C-alpha cells in the first residue's frame, strides 16, 4: 500500500493543527462545531452515491436512500408541509436548494417575474442568471427585512405576469426574517392568479421552526418550497442542505435515465450518500427537543454577547430569536483573527452551537483592548 512521504505527512500534520486553531476563532460564519460523527467513520471506506430521486430505486446499490427519505420526512413535518404532497432531497447546500426551487417555479410559470430583496444571499442573483429569469430587487428596511410596501407597489406594476417571490429566513448579515404570510396576503390582495413563494431558510429555518412565538415562513404560512443548510445549525463535516417542495409541483419535471435505472429529478444527479447519513444521525441523536435545547443555549449566548458588548460601549444589536449579533466594524486585525464577516461598517458574531462563553470572552477581551487603545490614542 502506498504511503505518504515524510515531508507530505509533515504538511498534513501542520494543516491539522491549523484546523484546530482556526476552528476555535471562527465566530463570523454560521457553522455549528459541536457535532461528533465518529460512529460513522467506518462508512468513509465506501463510496455512497445517492444518484437520482431518493424515492425511486436505482441499480446502484451503494447508497443511503432510506436515510435520505427520513431526513426529508423530518423537515417536511417540521415545516408543516402538506401530508402526502411533499418531496425533497439532500442537496450540496442552500445555494442548490434555492436553484432547485427557482427551477421548479420557472417550469410552473415560464413567464413569471421574480422578486427578491436587496438583502438576499448572493447565490440568488447567480441562480437567476443561470436560469435566465427576469427579476426585480425589492428594498429592505434598515435591518434587512423586506419592504412590503415596495413589494406591493412593484408587483402591482406587473400584475399581468405570475410572481415568484423569494423570502429570506435569516439574511446573510443581520439574520433578518421576511414574513411569508404577509407576502402571500399581498399577492392575494392584488388578485394574482399565479404565484410561487420560496423560503430561503438556509441559516435560520431549522431553529426558527422550533421557537415560540412562531415566525410565519413555512408551508402552512404560504410557502411553496423551503431550502435549508444542513452544515449550519445542525453541523456536518460536508456542506449540505435539504430542499422540500410540494410533490405535485415536482412531478412537472424529471426524466427516466436508463443508465442508472432510476428517475432523476434533482439538479446534480450524483449526490453524496454520506451527507444524508450525517443528517440522519444528528436527527436521531438529538430529535426535536435536543435541537430546541441547542437553539435555546445558542440564543442565551447571543443575548450574553449583545449585553456585554453594549456594557462595553460597543455598538451591538440583534433581531429577537436571532443567533447573529451585529456590531460596529472592529479593526482589520480582529476581523482576521476571529473571521468576522463584514459588510460596510458592520460586522457580525454568530453564536452557533459549539460556540462557548470562553470564545466570546476572548473576543470581548480583544475588543476591550481595542477600545482602550483608541482612548489612549485620543488622549495623546
Cis ω before 132 (30° cut-off from 0) = no
C-alpha 199/C-alpha 206 separation (Å) is 12
C-alpha 135/C-alpha 138 separation (Å) is 10
With beta carbons less than 8 A apart as the criterion, state whether 348 and 325 touch.
Answer: yes
Catalytic residue among 58, 298, 322, 347: 322
C-alpha 242/C-alpha 200 separation (Å) is 11
Measured between alpha carbons, how far apart are the two ends of the chain, in Å?
66
C-alpha 316/C-alpha 87 separation (Å) is 40
Query: Can you read off the three cell numbers belonging to residue 277?
Result: 447519513
Q: Based on the residue annotation, tell me whether 370 is a catalytic residue of this protein.
A: no
C-alpha 234/C-alpha 241 separation (Å) is 10
235: left (phi over 0), alpha (psi -120 to 50) or beta: left
- Note the maximum CA span of the chain: 77
User: Which residues is 228 bridged to in the sheet?
Assistant: 242
Cα distances (angstroms) measured from residue 20 to each of 4, 24, 301:
22, 6, 22
With beta carbons less than 8 A apart as the criterion, state whether 169 and 178 touch.
Answer: yes
Four-point Cα dihedral 248, 252, 255, 260, nearest 10: -20
User: Which residues is 117 bridged to in the sheet?
Assistant: 138
Q: Looking at the chain, list the stretches that DSSP marks H as alpha helix, in order from N- to C-terminal side.
A: 6-24, 65-78, 94-108, 122-131, 148-156, 180-189, 205-208, 247-250, 274-312, 332-338, 357-379
Residue owning grid cell 425511486? 56
User: How many other C-beta atoms lie within 10 A of the C-beta of residue 134?
Assistant: 12
How buried is residue 369: exposed, middle or buried, by Cβ count under 10 Å (0-12/13-18/19+)? Answer: exposed
C-alpha 106/C-alpha 103 separation (Å) is 5
Catalytic annotation, residues: 322
Amino acid at each position: 500500500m502506498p504511503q505518504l512521504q515524510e515531508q507530505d505527512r509533515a504538511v498534513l500534520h501542520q494543516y491539522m493543527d491549523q484546523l484546530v486553531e482556526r476552528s476555535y476563532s471562527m465566530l463570523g460564519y454560521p457553522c455549528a462545531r459541536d457535532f461528533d460523527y465518529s460512529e460513522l467513520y467506518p462508512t468513509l471506506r465506501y463510496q455512497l452515491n445517492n444518484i437520482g430521486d431518493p424515492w425511486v430505486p436505482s441499480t446502484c446499490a451503494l447508497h443511503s436512500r432510506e436515510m435520505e427519505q427520513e431526513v426529508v420526512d423530518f423537515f417536511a413535518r417540521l415545516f408543516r408541509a402538506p401530508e402526502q404532497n411533499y418531496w425533497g432531497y439532500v442537496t450540496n447546500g442552500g445555494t442548490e436548494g434555492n436553484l432547485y426551487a427557482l427551477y421548479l417555479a420557472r417550469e410552473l410559470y415560464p413567464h413569471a417575474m421574480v422578486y427578491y430583496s436587496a438583502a438576499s444571499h448572493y447565490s440568488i442573483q447567480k441562480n437567476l442568471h443561470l436560469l435566465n429569469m427576469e427579476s426585480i430587487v425589492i428594498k429592505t428596511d434598515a435591518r434587512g427585512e423586506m419592504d412590503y410596501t415596495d413589494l406591493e407597489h412593484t408587483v402591482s406594476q406587473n400584475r399581468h405576469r405570475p410572481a415568484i417571490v423569494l423570502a429570506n429566513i435569516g439574511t446573510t448579515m443581520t439574520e433578518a426574517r421576511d414574513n411569508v404570510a404577509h407576502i402571500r396576503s399581498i399577492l392575494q390582495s392584488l388578485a394574482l392568479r399565479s404565484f410561487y413563494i420560496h423560503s430561503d431558510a438556509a441559516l435560520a429555518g431549522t431553529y426558527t421552526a422550533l421557537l415560540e412565538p412562531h415566525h410565519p415562513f413555512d408551508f402552512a404560512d404560504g410557502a411553496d418550497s423551503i431550502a435549508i443548510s444542513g452544515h449550519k445549525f445542525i453541523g456536518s463535516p460536508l456542506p449540505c442542505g435539504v430542499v422540500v417542495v410540494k410533490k405535485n409541483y415536482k412531478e412537472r419535471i424529471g426524466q427516466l435515465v436508463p443508465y442508472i435505472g432510476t428517475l432523476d429529478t434533482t439538479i446534480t444527479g450524483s449526490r453524496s450518500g454520506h451527507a444524508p447519513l450525517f443528517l440522519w444521525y444528528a436527527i436521531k441523536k438529538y430529535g426535536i427537543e435536543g435541537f430546541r435545547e441547542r437553539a435555546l443555549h445558542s440564543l442565551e449566548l447571543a443575548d450574553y454577547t449583545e449585553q456585554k458588548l453594549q456594557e462595553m460601549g460597543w455598538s451591538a444589536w440583534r433581531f429577537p430569536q436571532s443567533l447573529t449579533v451585529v456590531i460596529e466594524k472592529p479593526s482589520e486585525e480582529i476581523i482576521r483573527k476571529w473571521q468576522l464577516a463584514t459588510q460596510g461598517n458592520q460586522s457580525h458574531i454568530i453564536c452557533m452551537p459549539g460556540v462557548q462563553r470562553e470564545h466570546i470572552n476572548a473576543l470581548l477581551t480583544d475588543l476591550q483592548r481595542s477600545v482602550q487603545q483608541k482612548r489612549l490614542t485620543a488622549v495623546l
